[in-house]
């Protein structure tokens, strides 16, 4: 390469950095407050339409923000009860996330000089896992036990691979384990249900009612030694025994409650070019659930309880990556200094060299993109019922009731119903 060509290349790099810096590396999806507002008001179908329009404007899966649009579109369709369409979008998002995870060396190198914002968004690892969580929920809500179990297993398979490959200190998902336990139990597969209840207990031992679930499956598998163990550990009474004996193989409503809003990324105060998750306001910790039969009055059926905290998962795992991100930023500062020195030397202008370094430094912004509409926590309440038609109402804290839903419960079946609250 001639000196003139080298100088032109350096000027090209500086010009590109300048253009990116001036544009602010803005994200079309993160700037789309209208979709967020529609979703917050419970207009999930309208929010989904608006998000689909935004995805179409992005020009397909090759764009920077296409995966972000897919994730929120799938979630909006899920919340609207459009489970088939939601599943289609999430399956496509799962495929695209896997493709985008293989970042080309040229793009990775480019971010040393500018910012991760110029790359296609490829999802945080926990977001990738939540795609399969929502697929499992979609199938469960449709009564498709087989496919729901496949996706619930995929959640923990992905998490296991992340741990075994040394990526993160992830633990298994208590929500996915508990969901699969319920699904196995609904099929009369007591052994596998018992295994997953025990896995859920190892992850979330404080979850209400789990001791009774464990005792019930120990009895169903005729494991008297474990029945005694759970009796002692949870202090179960004779009344508990009678109630759990009656629950085996009986009808049940399973309420899936998605509470609050996930944390938001902002610049880290320790280093502004590094992102950090911050909790978003949510005055509600749980929800009261009311139940009404076809001819009856509303009765309180219980309180939802947390199985997975998406907020905690997001904050902990991004904080864990802090050291690696800082190391890359330091390497980027060295690269920027080298470019500035090269410009100064080839142009014989120290001022121009300093300007090039300054532009590259200013262009390095924290990548603040994330799956924006996720809930803060995933919660569950199980309600044993007699077969029949029921209305279900969820009351998040003191903030009124969400729109009720109606379900038909057949003998011996478990029916799933979901609700979303967003402050």
**Average pLDDT over the chain, rounded to an integer:** 85
pLDDT at residue 9 in the model: 55
Indicate if the pLDDT at residue 353 is higher than 80.
no
Q: Between these two residues, 28 and 162, which has the higher pLDDT value?
A: 28
Work out the average pLDDT over 359-384: 86
Report pLDDT digits (tens) over 43-89.
999 999 999 999 998 876 667 899 999 999 999 999 999 999 999 99
Q: Is the pLDDT of residue 108 over 60?
A: no
Residue 418 in this model has a pLDDT that exceeds 70: yes
Q: Is residue 110 scored above 60 in pLDDT?
A: no
Confidence of residue 168 (pLDDT cuts 50, 70, 90): low
* Confidence at residue 160, expressed as pLDDT on a 0 to 100 scale: 84
**CA gap 278, 286 in Å, rounded:** 20
pLDDT at 18 over 90: no
Residue-wise pLDDT for 296-315, tens only, equals 899 999 999 999 999 999 99
* CA distances from residue 301 to 87, 115, 192 in whole angstroms, order as listed: 30, 51, 28
| Whole-structure pTM value | 0.86
Per the DSSP assignment, residues forming a β-bridge with 420 are: 258
Q: What is the pLDDT of residue 272?
A: 84
Given a cut of 70, is residue 363 above it in pLDDT? no
| pLDDT at 264 > cutoff 90 | yes
How does pLDDT run across 195-235, given as a tens digit for each residue?
Answer: 999 999 999 999 999 999 999 999 999 999 999 999 999 99
339: pLDDT strictly greater than 70: no
Q: Is 416 helix (H, G, I), strand (E, B) or coil?
A: strand
| More confident position, 268 or 399 | 268
For 115-159, the pLDDT digits (tens) are 566 678 888 889 999 999 999 999 999 999 999 999 999 998 888
| Cβ within 8 Å of residue 119, ≥6 positions away | 64, 103, 107, 108, 111, 367
Q: For residue 149, what pLDDT is reported?
A: 96
**Structure confidence by residue, pLDDT tens digits, 232-260:** 999 999 999 999 999 988 999 999 999 99
Output the pLDDT for position 295: 78
Q: Name the region of 266 (left: φ>0; alpha: ψ -120 to 50; beta: rest).
A: beta
Compute the radius of gyration of the chain from its Cα atoms. 25
d(CA 51, CA 27): 14
Q: Is the dihedral of CA 371, 164, 175, 97 positive or negative?
A: positive
* Residue 3, pLDDT score: 53
Confidence of residue 270 (pLDDT cuts 50, 70, 90): confident
- pLDDT over 70, % of the chain: 78
CATH assignment of 3-188+249-421?
1.25.40.10
Place of tokens 């040393």: 112
Distance, CA of 266 to CA of 254 (rounded, Å): 36
pLDDT at residue 179, as a whole number: 97
- The answer to whether residues 407 and 294 touch, using CB atoms and an 8 Å cutoff, is no
For the chain, what are the domain ranges? 3-188+249-421, 189-248
Closest CA relative to residue 319, chosen from 281, 279, 277: 277
- pLDDT band, very low/low/confident/very high, at 27 (cuts 50, 70, 90): confident
């Amino acid at each position: 390469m001639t000196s003139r060509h080298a100088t032109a290349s350096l000027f090209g790099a500086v010009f590109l950095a300048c253009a990116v810096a001036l544009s602010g590396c803005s994200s079309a999806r993160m700037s789309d407050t209208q979709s967020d507002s529609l979703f917050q008001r419970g207009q999930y179908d309208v929010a989904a339409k608006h998000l689909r329009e935004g995805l179409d404007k992005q020009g397909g899966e090759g764009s920077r923000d296409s995966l972000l649009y897919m994730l929120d579109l799938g979630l909006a369709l899920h919340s609207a009860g459009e489970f088939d369409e939601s599943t289609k979008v999430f399956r496509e998002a799962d495929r695209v996330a896997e493709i985008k995870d293989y970042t080309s060396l040229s793009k990775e190198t480019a971010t040393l000089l500018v910012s991760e914002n110029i790359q296609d968004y490829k999802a945080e690892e926990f977001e990738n896992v939540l795609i399969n969580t929502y697929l499992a929920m979609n199938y469960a809500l449709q009564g498709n036990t087989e496919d729901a179990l496949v996706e619930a297993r995929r959640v923990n398979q992905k998490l296991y691979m992340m741990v075994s490959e040394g990526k993160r200190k992830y633990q298994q998902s208590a929500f996915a384990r508990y969901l699969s336990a319920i699904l196995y139990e609904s099929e009369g597969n007591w052994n596998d249900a018992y295994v997953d209840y025990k896995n859920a207990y190892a992850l979330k031992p404080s979850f209400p009612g789990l001791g009774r679930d464990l005792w019930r499956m120990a009895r169903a598998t005729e494991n008297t030694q474990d029945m005694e163990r759970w009796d002692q550990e949870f202090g179960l009474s004779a009344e508990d025994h009678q109630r759990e004996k009656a629950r085996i193989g009986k009808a049940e409503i399973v309420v899936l409650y998605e509470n609050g809003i996930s944390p938001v990324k902002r610049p880290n105060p320790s280093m502004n070019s590094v992102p950090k998750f911050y909790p978003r306001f949510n005055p509600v910790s749980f929800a009261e659930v009311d139940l009404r039969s076809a001819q009856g009055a509303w009765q309180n059926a219980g309180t939802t309880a947390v199985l997975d905290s998406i907020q905690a998962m997001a904050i902990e795992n991004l904080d864990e990556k802090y050291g690696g991100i800082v190391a890359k930023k330091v390497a980027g500062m060295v690269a920027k200094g080298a470019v500035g020195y090269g410009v100064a030397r080839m142009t014989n202008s120290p001022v121009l060299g300093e300007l090039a370094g300054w532009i590259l430094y200013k262009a390095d912004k924290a990548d603040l993109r994330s799956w924006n509409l996720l809930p803060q926590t995933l919660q569950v309440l199980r309600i044993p019922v007699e077969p029949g038609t029921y209305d279900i109402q969820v009351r998040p804290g003191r903030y009124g009731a969400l729109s009720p839903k109606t379900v038909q419960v057949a003998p011996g079946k478990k029916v799933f119903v979901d609700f979303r609250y967003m402050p």
